[in-house]
């Protein structure tokens, strides 16, 4: 079977599934014709919509009703349960194990047991309360938008960050833990972005006794006060407590990054904003002459801790992307490679020592094939992430990058057109012009029939 045939068959079935989820009957009937022409192919997704009504989703052993808010695609759900970070000798597993090993060695309880517990198999399906409300994210915050997330229904979604588990774990009585898992976001298409990636989250809480134990004459120091919120602290925290927590946080993360990259690495801290920490920071590293952001962190909002039953403690939290670290550390140029099942790729990471220095050797240097697509935007709502999602669904792993290269507004009709440049390149084989032309044509047709645009092809 031609590779392109496999892609098209899998993609058409996936697009048909999407339209069932979004409940647009006319489009469903239209695209079901594409699905009927395909006999299958590709990885089987871990869900089966109820045959009778197509209004229920079975995922990881649980059933979820679908509604008008549902927008998750079968090609995305096909990756749920893959858990790349738990596949031995996978580059993401190596990074996770290196971070775990560092924390286990550096931070110990008095009985010489690890201070940080690790949770790397928590279910990626969470409630919107877990993903947003528990982290104090306002109901009108842009990060809640349907355009940016994968919703199963109005109350359940694929987590967009591992922070979704913070409140539950703190409420369970944990003071120090790491959470590792796959997270899902609708995003742009290029070598650094993918709709599924992996995060590692860390949390550390302190009682007053723990925080001030090594401070000379620190018996009178307090964690809390009632004052005004400033750029440097929350209204309920004392400046002494915040500065000690901030110092411990930055020292902990500097040691981690030094452990991974070596002690000659240049690090800088940049002030930033997160709804669930204040003050908040991003760490940037100077890698090959460029400053690259590798993680975000900060002092946890006290209201979050109070709601989770830890009102007598203060703490810090951080989150980092495993793909970003692995791409820098192992010199992996394209985020799509993490999903490769090519033995030539995976074999490079089968090493006896997780700390071994590995430099990725490219699988191919095949040239890209580039096609443009232009269309008039529909009179109704159009979001670019809908288009990116459609391109990913049909093109799957052969789409390397999509750029908006031109916008035009007609002076009389005021209609707006977009022109996108799609870069096609397979990481493991040469694509032919005929193969790419068929995929590109399928994208054009789907853009018209699913998104309602008017073609200018």
Q: What is the CATH number of the domain that holds 267?
A: 3.30.930.10
Look at residue 272 and tell me if it is in a domain: yes
Look at residue 361 and tell me if it is in a domain: no
* Same-domain status, 326 and 381: no
* Same-domain status, 249 and 376: no
Decide if 374 contacts 419 (C-beta within 8 A): yes
Residues in Cβ contact with 263 at an 8 Å cutoff, skipping those fewer than 6 apart: none
- Domain count for the chain, please give it: 2
> Which position has the token pair 């979050």?
304
How far is 9 from 20, CA to CA, in rounded Å?
Answer: 17
In terms of phi and psi (left: phi > 0; alpha: psi -120 to 50; beta: otherwise), the region of 206 is: beta
Which of 321, 338, 355 terminates a domain? The answer is: 338
For residue 221, what pLDDT is reported?
Answer: 93
CA angle 57, 447, 11 (to 5 degrees): 50
* Same-domain status, 228 and 143: yes
How far is 387 from 385, CA to CA, in rounded Å?
Answer: 5
Which of 287, 321, 338 terminates a domain? The answer is: 338
* Same-domain status, 418 and 333: no
State the DSSP code for 160: S
* Same-domain status, 316 and 404: no
What's the sign of the alpha-carbon dihedral 292, 295, 298, 301? positive
How far is 303 from 77, CA to CA, in rounded Å?
Answer: 34
* Same-domain status, 312 and 377: no
Instruction: Say what angle helices 433-451 and 384-395 make with each other, to 10 degrees.
Output: 140
* Same-domain status, 112 and 254: yes
Strand ranges in 288-415 using DSSP code E only, listed in sequence order: 290-300, 314-321, 369-376, 399-409
* Same-domain status, 278 and 417: no
For residue 54, what pLDDT is reported?
Answer: 57
What confidence tens digit (pLDDT) does each residue in 194-208 have?
999 999 999 999 999
* Same-domain status, 320 and 424: no
State the DSSP code for 433: H
How far is 422 from 390, CA to CA, in rounded Å?
Answer: 12
Looking up residue 388, the CATH number of its domain turns out to be 3.30.70.380
Look at residue 143 and tell me if it is in a domain: yes
Residues in Cβ contact with 199 at an 8 Å cutoff, skipping those fewer than 6 apart: 161, 162, 179, 180, 181, 183, 319, 320, 321, 322
Which of 290, 323, 338 terminates a domain? The answer is: 338
Look at residue 18 and tell me if it is in a domain: no
* Same-domain status, 133 and 62: yes
Look at residue 2 and tell me if it is in a domain: no
Strand ranges in 331-377 using DSSP code E only, listed in sequence order: 369-376
Look at residue 292 and tell me if it is in a domain: yes
* Same-domain status, 376 and 332: no
Domain boundaries, position 389: 369-455
Look at residue 104 and tell me if it is in a domain: yes
Low-confidence ranges of the chain (pLDDT < 50): 1-53
For residue 350, what pLDDT is reported?
Answer: 95
For residue 2, what pLDDT is reported?
Answer: 37
Look at residue 344 and tell me if it is in a domain: no
* Same-domain status, 245 and 376: no
Strand order of the sheet with strand 314-321?
A: 117-119, 176-184, 196-206, 314-321, 290-300, 277-287, 266-274
What's the sign of the alpha-carbon dihedral 235, 237, 239, 244? negative
For residue 457, what pLDDT is reported?
Answer: 59
């Amino acid at each position: 079977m031609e590779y392109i045939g496999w892609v098209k068959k899998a993609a058409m079935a996936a697009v048909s599934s999407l339209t069932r989820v979004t409940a647009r009957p006319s489009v469903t009937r239209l695209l079901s014709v594409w699905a009927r022409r395909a006999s299958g192919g590709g990885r089987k997704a871990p869900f089966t919509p109820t045959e009778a009504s197509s209004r229920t989703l079975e995922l990881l052993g649980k059933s979820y009703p679908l509604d008008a808010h549902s927008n998750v695609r079968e090609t995305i759900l096909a990756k749920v349960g893959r858990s790349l970070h738990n596949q031995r000798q996978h580059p993401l597993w190596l990074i996770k194990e290196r971070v775990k090993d560092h924390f286990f060695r550096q931070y110990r309880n008095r009985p010489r047991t690890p201070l940080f517990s690790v949770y790397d198999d928590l279910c990626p399906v969470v409630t919107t309360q877990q993903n947003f409300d528990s982290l104090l994210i306002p109901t009108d915050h842009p990060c809640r938008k349907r355009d940016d997330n994968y919703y199963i229904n109005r109350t359940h979604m694929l987590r967009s960050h591992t922070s979704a588990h913070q409140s539950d774990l703190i409420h369970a009585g944990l003071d120090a833990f790491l959470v590792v898992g796959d997270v899902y976001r609708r995003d742009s298409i290029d070598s650094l972005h993918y709709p599924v990636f992996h995060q590692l989250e860390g949390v550390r809480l302190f009682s007053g006794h723990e925080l001030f134990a090594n401070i000379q004459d620190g018996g009178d120091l307090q964690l809390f006060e009632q004052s005004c919120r400033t750029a440097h602290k929350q209204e309920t925290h004392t400046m002494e407590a915040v500065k000690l927590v901030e110092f411990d946080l930055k020292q902990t993360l500097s040691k981690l990054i030094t452990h991974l990259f070596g002690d000659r690495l240049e690090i800088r801290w940049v002030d930033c904003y997160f709804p669930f920490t204040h003050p908040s920071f991003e760490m940037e590293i100077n890698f090959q002459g460029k400053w690259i952001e590798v993680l975000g962190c900060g002092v946890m909002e006290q209201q979050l801790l109070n709601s989770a039953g830890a009102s007598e403690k203060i703490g810090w939290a951080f989150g980092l992307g495993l793909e970003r670290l692995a791409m820098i550390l192992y010199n992996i140029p394209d985020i799509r490679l993490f999903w490769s099942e090519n033995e030539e790729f995976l074999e490079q990471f089968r090493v006896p020592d997780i700390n071994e220095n590995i430099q990725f050797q490219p699988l191919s240097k095949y040239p890209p094939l580039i096609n443009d697509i232009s269309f008039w935007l529909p009179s109704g709502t159009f979001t670019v992430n809908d288009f990116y999602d459609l391109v990913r669904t049909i093109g799957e792993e052969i789409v390397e990058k999509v750029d908006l290269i031109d916008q035009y507004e007609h002076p009389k009709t005021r209609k707006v057109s977009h022109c996108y440049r799609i870069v096609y390149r397979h990481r493991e084989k040469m694509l032919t012009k005929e193969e790419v032309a068929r995929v590109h044509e399928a994208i054009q047709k789907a853009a018209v029939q699913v998104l309602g645009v008017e073609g200018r092809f």
